[in-house]
Amino acid sequence: MRILHTMIRVGNLERSLHFYCDVLGMRMIRQKEYPGGRFTNTFVGYGTEADSAVIELTYNWDTDRYDLGDGYGHIALQVEDIYETCARIAERGGQITRAPGPMKHGTTVIAFVEDPDGYKVELIQTKAEPTRVTTLVNIAE
């Protein structure tokens, strides 16, 4: 496993891009709008996503500010087989808060687990087709 990105919610995407790119010297790596969900995801960082962790700036179109406490989103980890990984996490006592499956408004296969303090960790399936673990349905419910 490796850290992929950290997501934070931003109230003004242009202001945030100025800070991360112009002030801190990162570059915009990619951006995608999700009209059905009314949000934009923009990824910024110093290297490529293939070789370094980046920051995901999520701009929800109908929200212009956040309290610092709810601005945090999640830590993301890349996994080769999301179903096997979730089964192993559950076997070890981890709490799966969102069973593996395609993300809403997209096709990327994701899952979420929660740490003991309630912080979310997103698991993201690599592009290879994962092996489905049939017992996961019982674990996730």
Q: What is the pLDDT of residue 134?
A: 47
**Same domain flag for 67 and 85:** no
**Same domain flag for 25 and 49:** yes
**Same domain flag for 68 and 13:** yes
**Same domain flag for 60 and 97:** no
**pTM (global) more than 0.85:** no
Q: What is the pLDDT of residue 141?
A: 43
Q: Identity (one letter) of the amino acid at 122?
A: E
Distance CA 25, CA 20 (A): 7
Q: What is the pLDDT of residue 23?
A: 86
Q: What is the pLDDT of residue 95?
A: 92
Count of structural domains, the chain: 2
The whole domain housing 123 covers 80-140
Q: What is the pLDDT of residue 115?
A: 92
Instruction: Determine which one of 114, 122, 129, 141 is catalytic.
Output: 122
Residues of the chain with pLDDT under 70: 128-141
Query: Catalytic annotation on 122?
Result: yes
Q: What is the DSSP string of 75-120?
A: EEEEES-HHHHHHHHHHTT-EEEEEEEEPTTS--EEEEEE-TTS-E
Q: What is the pLDDT of residue 137?
A: 45
Give me the sign of the Cα torsion angle 98, 50, 5, 114: positive
Give me the sign of the Cα torsion angle 26, 108, 11, 98: negative
- What's the CATH code of the domain at 95? 3.30.720
Q: What is the pLDDT of residue 75?
A: 87
Place of tokens 């945090």: 72
- What's the CATH code of the domain at 31? 3.10.180.10
